[in-house]
Amino acid sequence: MERFGLVGLPNAGKSSLYNALTGGGALAAPYAFATKDPNIGVAKVPDDRLDRLAVMSKTKNTIHAAVQVV
């Protein structure tokens, strides 16, 4: 699994982006340095092409790509 880190200036929206990607609950506050400890979450990467291939090949399992966001 690929691992991505979100880095940037204070109050740039890193925690908000993390929450949007992973559905996580990282603290997103309107002041600097609200998030000091790293949050780790997994974002699934949906792909319609994979779904169509799974239907065509009649597979039992379909495993979508996922990335780990830190």
Q: What is the pTM of this model?
A: 0.72
Q: Could you tell me the residue ranges of all domains in the chain?
A: 2-69
| Intervals of the chain under pLDDT 50 | none
Q: Which pLDDT score is estimated for 58?
A: 93
Q: Which pLDDT score is estimated for 37?
A: 84
Q: Which pLDDT score is estimated for 39?
A: 86
Instruction: Output phi, psi for 42, to 5 deg.
Output: -120, 130
Q: Which pLDDT score is estimated for 35?
A: 78
Q: What is the DSSP code string of 24-70?
A: ------SSTT---S---EEEEE--HHHHHHHHHHT-S----EEEEE-
Q: Which pLDDT score is estimated for 54?
A: 94
